Amino acid sequence: MDHTLRKITKKYYTYECGDDCCCYEDGYEWSVDGEFVHRSSCEDSGWLAVLKHLGLNVELSGVDEKDEEIWSL
């Protein structure tokens, strides 16, 4: 197993159109060792993209209070 220390960064962003069009977006930009990996308002998809970038074959799922899967990525 590779024990190399990797640096994961999560940076908040906001974006607004400059044409009075009422568009607005915010979320996070994810990078690994300074390399851009993912940009999204969904934090779960960001973590998934980082893990896959690191070479892990993963699935992310959410469960309810009964431990039943209610969504997956």
Which pLDDT tens digits describe the chain residue by residue (73 residues)?
A: 778 999 999 999 998 877 767 788 899 999 999 999 999 999 999 999 999 999 999 999 999 999 999 999 9
pTM score, whole prediction: 0.80
Contacts of 15 (CB under 8 A, 6+ apart): 24, 25, 26
> Which domain covers residue 51, as residue numbers?
8-72
Question: In terms of Cα–Cα distance, which of 38, 39, 45 is closest to 26?
Answer: 39
Tell me if 3 is assigned to some domain: no
How many H-runs (helices) and E-runs (strands) does the chain carry? 1, 5
In the structure encoding, which two tokens stand for residue 18, read together? Answer: 């400059």
The secondary structure of residue 26, as a DSSP letter, is E
Tell me if 24 is assigned to some domain: yes
Domain count, the chain: 1
